[in-house]
Amino acid sequence: MPDIDAKAPGRGVWVRFGFAAVEQAAKTNVFSRSLKQRVRVPQDLAQITRTRLEQRLTGALGLARKAGQLQTGATRVKSAIASQTVIALLTASDAAPDGRRKMLVALRGSAQEQQVPHFDILTSTQLGLALGQENVIHAALTEGAAANSALLRMENLFRYMAPANETIDR
8-17 burial string, b = 16+ CB within 10 Å, else e?
A: eeeeeeebee
Q: How much is the pLDDT for 82?
A: 87
pLDDT at 67 over 60: yes
pLDDT at 51 over 50: yes
- Our CA angle for 131, 136, 137, nearest 5°, is 140
**155 or 13, which is more confident:** 155
Residues 6+ apart with CB under 8 A from 161: 19, 50, 121
pTM of the model: 0.84
Residues 6+ apart with CB under 8 A from 111: 84
Q: Which domains are seen in the chain, by residue range?
A: 46-161 (3.30.1330.30)
